[in-house]
Amino acid sequence: MKKQAIGIFDSGIGGTSIWKEIAIALPNEDTIYLADSKFAPYGKRSQEEIISLSIKNTKKLLELNCKIIVVACNTATTNAIKTLRSQFDVPFIGIEPAIKPAALKTKTKKIGILATKGTLSSELFATTSDLYTNNTEVIEVIGTGLVELIEAGKIYGEEMFTLLSSYIRPLVEKNIDYLVLGCSHYPYLIPVLKKILPKNIIIIDSGEAVARQTKVILSNNDLLNENASEGSHIFFTNGRLSVLQNIVKKTNITTDANQLEF
Ligand code: DGL
């Protein structure tokens, strides 16, 4: 079982930002990534739909013989991970907005969070946010349209800059000092965000924390691959192959990307 791959899924290509951290932290592990781009964005969907898509993706990854599932999507984690854990007998790692580190470090006592409607309206997010943000104002912004532009490969254009600026400006005016990226697509916006944000505002995402947690859970379950050789990385998308290929080729990690109906 140790030699089986780590399965990772997201509503699209965004979770590759998490995959990259996992590939760096666990270089001997094989990975299989599912980009469910055909059904993106999840953020606008009902909880029932998000649960049923997450079950579909999990079944596919288990069919492909994965030993652990990383839900590399905040929207799927906050809406579906409880159900997944109750229905499947395999360890799951989820991703949630990094509210806690931001709340611990903020000096202005104001933090911004950019995420999907599905994440911000979930019960799990409300619980985490309440738990860690005593005396801190959390200003939530729904990133409507951002995932669609990223999925279309339009990260660096004028359209993205204008839309993102309209979401970020009110946060800057409110004097936040931390911006939490609560969607695994958004780390790809960091170069654009850096042009918009004043230098004193720190951006936080959850990629490295998820990779660390994946290592801990694999080790606790005696599932770490003991191979000395480098792992292989296979990607499947039910959307546009070229968009996925363009995003993963920037990592300089050898990958094999394919189209698949699922
Ligand atoms: N990448 C996703 C997340 O982390 C989902 C975005 C979407 O499909 O709306 O929330």
pLDDT tens-place string over residues 88-146: 999 999 999 999 999 999 999 999 999 999 999 999 999 999 999 888 999 999 999 99
Residue to probe by mutation, ligand 1, list 39, 45, 77, 116, most atoms within 8 Å of CB = 116
Residue to probe by mutation, ligand 1, list 75, 114, 117, most atoms within 8 Å of CB = 75
What's residue 134's pLDDT? 86
Q: How many CB atoms lie within 10 A of CB 30?
A: 20
Q: What distance in angstroms lies between residue 49's CA and the mean position of ligand 1's atoms?
A: 13
Quote the CA–CA distance of 79 and 47 in Å, as a whole number. Answer: 6
Sheet hosting strand 110-115, strand order edge to edge: 137-142, 110-115, 178-182, 202-204
Which atom of ligand 1 is found nearest the CA of 75?
Answer: 10
Q: Is the dihedral of CA 62, 120, 167, 179 positive or negative?
A: negative
Residue to probe by mutation, ligand 1, list 9, 10, 205, most atoms within 8 Å of CB = 10
Domains of the chain from N-terminus onward: 5-95+207-259 (3.40.50.1860), 99-204 (3.40.50.1860)
66 is catalytic: no
Of the chain, the end-to-end C-alpha distance in Å amounts to 24
Q: Which two tokens stand for residue 110?
A: 């104001």
**Ligand 1 interacting residues, C-beta cut-off 6 A:** 10-11, 14-15, 40-43, 73-75, 116, 119, 147, 183-185
Q: What distance in angstroms lies between residue 40's CA and the mean position of ligand 1's atoms?
A: 8
Query: Could you please report the per-residue DSSP string of 122-168?
Result: SHHHHHHHHHH-TT-EEEEEE-TTHHHHHHTT-SSSHHHHHHHHHHH
The pTM is what?
0.95
What's residue 51's pLDDT? 98
Positions in the chain whose pLDDT score sits under 70: none
Instruction: Give me the catalytic one of 61, 73, 80, 163.
Output: 73
Q: What distance in angstroms lies between residue 75's CA and the mean position of ligand 1's atoms?
A: 5
Which atom of ligand 1 is found nearest the CA of 45?
Answer: 9
Q: What distance in angstroms lies between residue 116's CA and the mean position of ligand 1's atoms?
A: 7
Q: What distance in angstroms lies between residue 237's CA and the mean position of ligand 1's atoms?
A: 15
Instruction: Give me the catalytic one of 22, 102, 163, 183.
Output: 183
Q: What distance in angstroms lies between residue 67's CA and the mean position of ligand 1's atoms?
A: 23
